[in-house]
């Protein structure tokens, strides 16, 4: 696991794609997780968090297939501090995604609430069930064509933290994150071996007033696709 930033209070790692942050109760088999690595290397974190038995130190999460910056609290005091920063949207997160097609506007803001599709846990902009405001800012960094299809590298800043927000919003504007079957369909899932979403950076103010900037460079699978 690559450590990007470490202090006595907080740890930031570059989570690889394909690794769960923590296991879930419904899982029948054990998989490697960030939490397992964390407990092994920072055993004192077992006392930190809202649910330290299952999610010690975990303030936020990335989907299994999403790579990039993940911040972890190493003390209860800092856990509460980071939790408040996330709740008040005081942490700036920047993602990169490789999307199918290209947005009609090269940059813009998607401002539409996200709810839950009835009878499922799938998120959608077409349901009022538990709908919450969601705002996503994006800009197209590069476009290219391969085998008759157009792809885009998109820089994304979510201003809210809804589950699957980026994936839902990009699909809503007709540019699903490639590799994402849940929101882009089976044909889209075949475009990549995982959904191509990467948390590139996080910025926030430390308790001592210093500005913290943490960056995880684009992984190899991103670079290969962008060069195609």
Considering the candidates 9, 50, 51, 63, report the single residue annotated as catalytic.
63
Report which secondary-structure segment, H or E, holds 81.
Answer: helix 76-87
Q: What is the pLDDT of residue 49?
A: 93
Asked whether residue 98 falls in the same domain as residue 181, the answer is yes
Q: How many CB atoms lie within 10 A of CB 72?
A: 25
Domain of 216? 1-88+202-228
Query: What's the average model confidence in pLDDT over 76-98?
Result: 96
Distance between CA atoms of residues 153 and 139, nearest Å: 9
Separation CA 47–CA 152 (nearest Å)? 43
Residues 13 and 74 in one domain: yes
Say if residue 42 is in the same domain as residue 17.
yes
Residues 135-166 have pLDDT tens digits of 999 999 999 998 899 999 999 999 998 999 99
* Across 109-120, average pLDDT: 91
Query: CA angle at residue 216 from 139 to 89, to 5 degrees?
Result: 60
Same domain, 71 and 99: no
Cβ–Cβ under 8 Å, residues 188 and 197: no
> The domain that contains 50 carries what CATH number?
3.30.2350.10
**Same domain as 41, residue 132:** no
- 29-76: per-residue pLDDT in tens? 578 999 999 999 999 999 999 999 889 999 999 999 999 999 999 999
Q: How far apart are CA 56 and CA 214, in angstroms?
A: 21
pLDDT at 24 over 80: no
Q: Classify 54 as helix, strand or coil.
A: coil
Whether residue 209 sits in one domain with residue 156: no
User: What pLDDT is recorded for position 127?
Assistant: 82
Q: Are 118 and 179 members of one domain?
A: yes
**What is the number of domains present in the chain?**
2
Confidence of residue 228 (pLDDT cuts 50, 70, 90): low
The whole-angstrom distance between residue 224's C-alpha and the CA centroid of its chain comes to 20
Are residues 2 and 28 located together in one domain of the fold? yes
Mode of pairing for the β-strands spanning 67-73 and 10-15: antiparallel
- Residue owning tokens 């090269």: 106
Do 126 and 178 reside in the same domain of the chain?
yes
* Cβ–Cβ < 8 Å for 169, 37: no
Residues 179 and 101 occupy one common structural domain: yes
**Global pTM?**
0.92
206 and 190 in a single domain? The answer is no
Least confident of 20-29, 176-185, 206-215: 20-29
Do you know the residue count of the chain?
228
Q: What is the mean pLDDT of residues 178-182?
A: 95
Is 63 noted as a catalytic residue in this protein? yes
Judgement on whether residues 108 and 189 belong to the same structural domain of the protein: yes
Of 53, 97, 71, 38, whose CA–CA distance to 212 is shortest?
A: 71
């Amino acid at each position: 696991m690559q450590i990007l930033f470490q202090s006595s209070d907080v740890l930031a790692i570059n989570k690889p794609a394909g690794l769960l942050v923590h296991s879930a109760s419904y899982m029948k088999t054990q998989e490697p997780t960030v939490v397992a690595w964390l407990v092994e290397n920072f055993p004192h974190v077992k006392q930190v968090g809202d649910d330290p038995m299952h999610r010690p130190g975990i303030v936020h999460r990335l989907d299994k297939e999403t790579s990039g910056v993940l911040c972890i609290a190493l003390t209860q005091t800092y856990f509460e501090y980071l939790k408040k920063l996330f709740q008040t949207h005081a942490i700036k997160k920047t993602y990169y995604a490789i999307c199918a097609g290209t947005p009609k506007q090269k940059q813009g803001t998607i401002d539409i609430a996200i709810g839950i599709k009835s009878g499922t846990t799938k998120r959608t902009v077409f349901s009022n069930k538990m709908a919450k405001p969601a705002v996503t800012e994006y800009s197209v960094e590069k476009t290219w064509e391969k085998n008759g299809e157009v792809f885009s590298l998109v820089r994304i800043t979510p201003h809210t933290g809804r589950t699957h927000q980026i994936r839902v919003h990009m699909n809503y504007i007709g540019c699903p994150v490639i590799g994402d079957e849940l929101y882009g369909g089976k044909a889209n899932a075949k475009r990549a071996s995982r959904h191509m979403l990467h948390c590139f950076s996080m910025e926030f103010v430390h308790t001592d007033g210093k500005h913290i900037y943490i960056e995880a460079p684009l992984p190899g699978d991103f670079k290969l696709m962008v060069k195609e």
